[in-house]
Amino acid sequence: MARFERAADVKTGVVGYGAAFNMGRRHLTDTRKAGMTPCAVAETDPERLAAAKQDFPGIDLFPTVDEMLRESDVNLVVLITPHNTHAELALQCLRAGRHVISEKPFAITTEECDAMIREADLRGLLVTAYHNRHWDGCVLEALKHLHDEKAIGEIYRVDARIGGYGYPGDWWRSCRSISGGIMYDWGVHLLEYGLQIVPAGIVEVAGFAKTGVWADRTPWKDDTNEDVACAVVRFENGAWLSLTVSSLESNPRPGQLEISGTEGTYVFDGRTYELFRQQGNEKVVTKGANMASRWEAFYDNIARHLTEDEALVITPEWARRPIHILDLAAKSAKLGRAIRARYE
């Protein structure tokens, strides 16, 4: 994949410069920290284009993706747009000969992921998802204890959960056809943690969902996200993972992930962890703070992949895995049965 003599030769651009979370500015800043060169922004909102011009004086600004691809020499395009646009935009950019990084989620359906991967392979280009949270301190801390130290023995179950009780809001992330559903936002992060913790093939996925509480109050009506949804994943090694994302949780349990093993249990959230181990008839509890996150590792790896042919950490096949789980879970919830996983 190495195509560039040095990282500065990789010219980066973003599609979307929305105000939420300052994501456009963050991506361009992070590519620059990794040695690459921000050069272009495509954004339909003139006010956000003006913000980009202020943040990056001299950067090329375009009101459409078509114009950016036609008139700029951007090499690497980062998509920061609603979830249901990722696949179409990625394919457009790949066909124009550009490397592509999509914000999470990679896409909404398995078929979209597979189409993106095929197009990139055909053209010898990079396509991946921005899984910066692969390097979150909470999961790095967990992997140290669970994999390196074998602190809880053989892992057989992962329980991932997030949510509370409340109206989901009127923004596009609450619309199922745009967002993909309630599990496609934070759920992708939690699944990615779980897939690191259980490094085994996926056998099948069962999905469950409840709707009908919030939909009538939102602008989206029947197209509103599920009120609560759950995916249960069976792995080839016999372990299983459950993911629940809810807006109906009146008594949320502590921790975002609870990992059970033959010799103990490990629970963590974004800041802290608790390790429960059996010593005879006694339960010993160890508590601690998670190590620092290393989000910069994502773009450092991208830069070295494009210049030194370093192995890509977040491969497109890896980015496909959480999407395949969520896609199968949604289909399973409608069918009322588990669905086998499919690999290309």
Q: 3-state DSSP: the chain helix, strand, coil percent, rounded to 5?
A: 40, 25, 35
Q: What is the pLDDT of residues 279-318, one digit of tens each?
A: 888 899 999 999 999 999 999 999 999 999 999 999 999 9
| Amino acid of residue 140 | L
Q: Which domains does the chain have, with CATH numbers?
A: 7-131 (3.40.50.720), 134-295+324-340 (3.30.360.10)
Q: Are strands 76-79 and 60-62 parallel, antiparallel or unpaired?
A: unpaired
Q: How far is it, in rounded angstroms, from Cα 9 to Cα 201?
A: 37
Q: What is the pLDDT of residues 142-174, one digit of tens each?
A: 999 999 999 999 999 999 999 999 999 999 999
Looking at residue 2, its pLDDT comes to: 67
Mean pLDDT of the region 239-265? 97
Asked if 32 and 76 touch (Cβ cutoff 8 Å), the reply is no
Assigned token pair, 323: 């999407």
Name residue 340's beta-bridge partners: 204
For residue 234, pLDDT beyond 90: yes
pLDDT, averaged across the chain: 96
Cβ partners under 8 Å of residue 250, min gap 6: 165
For residue 129, pLDDT beyond 70: yes
- The pTM score is 0.96
